[in-house]
Amino acid sequence: MKKRFNDTGICIEDKHFMVNTSSKIEQTFEMIEYGEYFIMNRPRQFGKTTALYRLHQELLVKDDYLTILLSFEGSSDDAFKDADTFCFYFIEKFNDKLKFSYPSQQLFIDHNLQTNKTGFEKLSLQITDFTQKVQKKVVVLIDEVDKSTNNQLFLHFLGLLRNKYLERNLAPFLTFHSIVLVGIHDIKTIKLKLRPDEKKKFNSPWNIAVDFKVDMFFNPSEISTMLEQYSQEKNIQMDIKKLSERIFYYTSGYPFLVSKMCKVIDEILLPKKENQTEWDVEDIENSFKYLVKDNYTTTIFDDLTKNVDNNPKIKNLLTNILMKGLKVPFVVSDETISLGQIYGMLDIDDKYCKIHNRIFEQKLYSHLLAGMIINGDYDHINILSDVYSSPKGTLDMPKILRKFQEFMKENYSKKDPEFIEREGRLIFLSFLKPIINGRGFDFKEPNIGEERRMDIVITYATNIYILELKIWRGESYHQEGLEQLSNYLDFYNKKEGFLLIFNFNQKKEFKEENIEFEDKNILAVWV
């Protein structure tokens, strides 16, 4: 069967090129062997269901385990009408899966078990009865648990499992050996998705769960396993180590993005290449450009921007980080930061918040900037792109910076310095946007340093320009900034760079300077 890179649904080994995640599955299985209850909570399209599927397959072949894989996706509201209905619904789903996975087993949970108990009390007795009869370690895997966690009956169900877990040492096989829930939210922090009037109902129904610490991101060596498989099967030549590191550079190992970048190269870019038997670094760069185009979207990008627009606090946090260059401490207990991490937007870097990966960063940055321009925050800027570009696809960067210097001198020289420091970057980004719109894009490189600076990579047609925005903090910081820019130019094999410096001293000059630094030529413009 022919394989392809998969960006939807479960990855199947016979159908898809896949990263070797055996070590992750082994770590998760070890938690099950210890009899742990936990939730595998990660952002959307993170390979959670694929990991659960693989874990289920591993457990099915082990004689001392009996494993049931359930999902509450698609469950109707009627199933949560009352306790009796929910418990009956759970038993029916459990039995259906049991008959399918273990057709020789006749020890099904009996919803007709004669007892004077009802609802959860009856279900508790039935779980005890079943686990005693089957004499195996019963593992329950429940996918898409977020679909039900805003329902109080489901929280009662988790409370039942918690109580049985606490009592299980009184006698063997009184309850399930291990339970794995899969969803976006951690059940211990499920209050983040409840409406304000529902928070009073929350009572930590899953406080016996251990933290799930398995690293689900793909590191470069793991990405290499997928590229090796692809290279061998399709006879494609590539420097696997180099390309894996470059894919990781843009994706930070986010599983969906890793597969998506490869899929774009294989199915969209490669057929257009003259040499269709080789991947190179330029293919990775072009895949990145394809994904971050303003007019390209997919479900995960739609979710990303929707979560920003629906949560003003997250929008404000991202604006401070992305557009204003502020350092925001990563405080785990902060609900806004926690939600940003749950949605896959945020990560931690040296105790500060950063955008998780360069693809998300570019999509969020473009979305926020477009919103500001549409709202008229910077509608006074009117630029004709043809004045600053040539038909050959090159930008006149010195001319752009000089024009921006002139623009700032005319429009902002009398403004409060604090306003310029706060808004200067946004003003420049808004100035730049119409110049490159349609033929190029700009993306910023994250940095969490003591000096407030922003590295911007501008692509226009096939050309790349490296620009650093910084605030003047004195000569020593200036030299340090030149060294940082030089190192970044080395990364892109460039000898020419640009420096836009915001100076808030009272006696500042609107000047420019050509600086020879190491083997680089850097044009610095002060505004």
By the 10 Å C-beta count (0-12 exposed, 13-18 middle, 19+ buried), 510 is classed as middle
Q: CB of 399 within 8 A of CB of 375?
A: no
For position 473, what pLDDT does the model report? 81
The owner of tokens 């006696």 is: 507
Other residues' Cβ atoms within 10 Å of the Cβ of residue 234: 14
DSSP string, 100-119: HH-TT------TT---S--H
CA distance 413 to 508: 10
CA distance 5 to 376: 41
Range of lowest pLDDT (182-196, 300-314, 358-372, 385-399)? 182-196
Q: CB of 367 within 8 A of CB of 67?
A: no
The owner of tokens 């959670």 is: 48
Range of lowest pLDDT (83-97, 108-122, 418-432)? 108-122
CA distance 128 to 138: 11
CA 251 → CA 35, 283, 360, distances in Å? 34, 15, 8
Residue 451 — pLDDT band, cuts 50, 70, 90? very low
CA 410 → CA 270, 405, 415, distances in Å? 48, 9, 11
DSSP string, 17-72: -----HHHHHHHHHHHHTT-EEEEE--TTSSHHHHHHHHHHHHHT-TTEEEEEEE-
Q: Would strands 352-355 and 346-349 be described as parallel, antiparallel, or unpaired?
A: antiparallel
293: β partners: none
CA distance 244 to 235: 17
**Hey, what amino acid is at 396?**
D
Q: Tell me which residue of 323, 332, 514 sits closest to 425, measured CA to CA.
A: 323
Cβ-Cβ contacts under 8 Å for 182 (sequence gap 6 or more): 39, 40, 41, 48, 49, 52, 141, 142, 143, 144, 145
Average pLDDT of the chain, as a whole number? 84
Q: Tell me which residue of 342, 296, 352 sits closest to 320, measured CA to CA.
A: 352
CA 62 → CA 65, 233, 403, 439, distances in Å? 6, 31, 70, 57
DSSP assignment, residue 450? S
* Dihedral angle computed from the Cα positions of residues 506, 508, 510 and 512, in that order, rounded to the nearest 10 degrees: -160
Instruction: Categorise residue 393: left if φ over 0, alpha if ψ from -120 to 50, beta otherwise.
Output: left
Note the pTM of the prediction, 2 decimals: 0.81
For position 73, what pLDDT does the model report? 76
Q: CB of 71 within 8 A of CB of 10?
A: no
Cβ-Cβ contacts under 8 Å for 113 (sequence gap 6 or more): 122, 125, 126, 129
For position 154, what pLDDT does the model report? 81
- DSSP H or E stretch at residue 179: strand 178-183
* Residues 338-354, mean pLDDT to the nearest whole number: 89
Q: Which two tokens stand for residue 361?
A: 């960063």
Cα angle vertex 189, ends 185, 195, to 5°?
A: 85
The owner of tokens 């590295």 is: 455
pLDDT per position as a tens digit, 27-37: 999 999 999 99
Burial 400-424 (b: 16+ CB within 10 A, else e): bbebbbebbeeebeeeeeeebeebb
CA 203 → CA 83, 152, 485, distances in Å? 18, 10, 51
For CA atoms 7, 9, 13, 15, the dihedral sign is: negative
Range of lowest pLDDT (61-65, 176-180, 195-199)? 195-199
Q: Tell me which residue of 265, 287, 463 sits closest to 362, measured CA to CA.
A: 287
Q: Tell me which residue of 356, 355, 357, 327 sits closest to 451, measured CA to CA.
A: 327
* Residues 293-315, mean pLDDT to the nearest whole number: 91
3-state secondary structure (DSSP) of residue 10: coil
* Residues 232-250, mean pLDDT to the nearest whole number: 96
For position 243, what pLDDT does the model report? 97
By the 10 Å C-beta count (0-12 exposed, 13-18 middle, 19+ buried), 207 is classed as exposed
Residue 448 — pLDDT band, cuts 50, 70, 90? very low
Q: Tell me which residue of 492, 464, 499, 490 sits closest to 394, measured CA to CA.
A: 464
pLDDT per position as a tens digit, 125-183: 889 888 888 889 999 999 888 766 556 788 888 889 988 998 887 766 589 999 999 88
Q: CB of 19 within 8 A of CB of 218?
A: yes
Query: Which residue would you say has higher pLDDT here, 509 or 282?
Result: 282
